[in-house]
A = this chain, B = another copy of it.
Amino acid sequence: VTGLDATPNGTSGQRSASVRRSNLTTILTSLHLDGAASRSDLVARTGLTRGAIGVLVGELVDRGLVVEDPAVPDGNPGRPSPTARPHHADNVVLAMNVLVDSIAVAAVGLGGTMLAVERVERPRARRPLDETVGQLVALTDAVTASLRGSCTVHAVGVAVAGIVRGSDNMLITAPNLGQEPVGALIRDALGRDVPVEVANEGDLGALGESRRGIGREVTDLVYVSGEVGVGGGIISDGRRLTGPHGFAGEVGHVPVNPDGIPCNCGAVGCWETEVGEDALLRRAGRDPALGPAAIESMIVAAQRGDSDACSALDLHGRWIGIGLAGLVNVFTPSLVVLGGLFQRVHPFVAEAVDRELRARTLAPAHEGVTVAPSALGVDASLIGAAELAWEPVLGDPGALPFRRGALR
Contact = CB atoms under 8 A, between A and B. Distances in A.
Interface of A: 1, 4, 7-17, 19-20, 23, 48-49, 51-52, 55-56, 58-59, 62, 163, 165, 172, 174, 177, 218-220, 234, 236-237, 239, 241-245, 247-251, 253-258, 265-268, 270, 322-323, 325-327, 329-334, 359-365, 368, 407-408
A266 to B, nearest CB: 7
B248 A363 contact: no
Given A360-B267, A368-B244, A326 B255 contact: yes
A329 B254 contact: yes
Nearest to A266: B359
Contact of A330 (B4, B19, B254): B254
Contacts of A12: 12-13, 16, 19-20
A323 B218 CA distance: 28
A257 B254 contact: no
Nearest to A22: B15
B8 A17 contact: no
Contacts of A255: 256, 322-323, 325-326, 360
B7 A244 contact: no
13 contacts: A1-B408, A7-B20, A10-B51, A11-B20, A11-B23, A163-B364, A219-B244, A220-B244, A234-B330, A244-B334, A248-B332, A255-B322, A270-B360
Contacts of A177: 363-364
B52 A1 contact: no
A172 B363 CA distance: 10
A172 B364 contact: yes
B330 A251 contact: yes
Given A11-B23, A15-B23, A237-B241, 19 more contacts: A4-B58, A4-B62, A8-B23, A8-B55, A10-B51, A12-B12, A12-B13, A12-B16, A165-B364, A174-B362, A177-B364, A236-B236, A241-B331, A244-B332, A245-B365, A247-B362, A247-B365, A250-B329, A250-B332
